[in-house]
Amino acid sequence: MAEIDALPFAFVFRPETTALIVIDMQRDFAEPGGFGASLGNDVSRVTAIVPTVKRLIEGFRVAGLPVIHTMECHRPDLSDLPPAKRDRGDPSIRIGDVGPMGRVLIAGEPGTAILDELAPRRGEIVIEKPGKGAFYATSLSDNLKRIGARQLVFAGVTTEVCVQTTMREANDRGYECLVAEDATESYFPEFKAAALAMIRAQGAIVGWTATTDQVLEGIANA
């Protein structure tokens, strides 16, 4: 047990029940020609955090702590893609369409893959999720129960959508949640700042935030 110097107050870190969840660090959200770019976003904001996310993942691996990866994607027949999701916004290519990296956000397509630098290792849990939250229509709950996790550290994209949604889902299920501030990102810096403020507001109503260095120091001291 150790304390992580987090906000809004210290996070009591118990490594024996802690897992890292890396949200949606996929080519479609991070590379030119992918879905994120098709929405007019600056994907370089996502690629900029890759070294930090990698360092966080390696810290968990060295400590022998579980690393879980999520991928937002849909079945090839689009049976798990509601029209309300496919038809919103004004992208140049829509989910399921053929883009420069194959069919957009479809399981098994090149663009759906996790970035090579952050690729899962053999034995690490990979969750394919059709929604923003990683608990909806997935096996995440069962996997967390199987490994005995009670505390979750989060990284990935985007802070205000898939990361925050999953944290809120986890909070409702009784997990203590902490997001590594510099290992998460948004296409909109003001959205990231607002999401982090909401997470730690009112005495960590959703969870805590800390830097990657602070998290890794907590692991080292545990």
Does 24 participate in catalysis according to the annotation?
yes
For 29, the enclosing helix (H) or strand (E) is helix 27-30
Closest by CA position to 172, among listed 162, 182, 164, 160: 164
Q: Count other Cβ atoms within 10 Å, centred on residue 172.
A: 10
Is 177 designated active site? no
Annotated catalytic residue 129: yes
List the catalytic residue out of 28, 73, 162, 192.
Answer: 162
Point out which residues pair with 178 in neighbouring strands: 153, 208
Closest CA to 46 of 57, 59, 31, 68: 31
Which single residue is written with the structure tokens 């510099």? 182
Q: Give the Å distances, CA to CA, from 176 to 6, 43, 154.
A: 13, 30, 11
What CA–CA distance (Å, rounded) separates 145 from 136? 16
From 129, 177, 182, 192, active-site residue: 129
Active site (catalytic) residues: 24, 129, 162
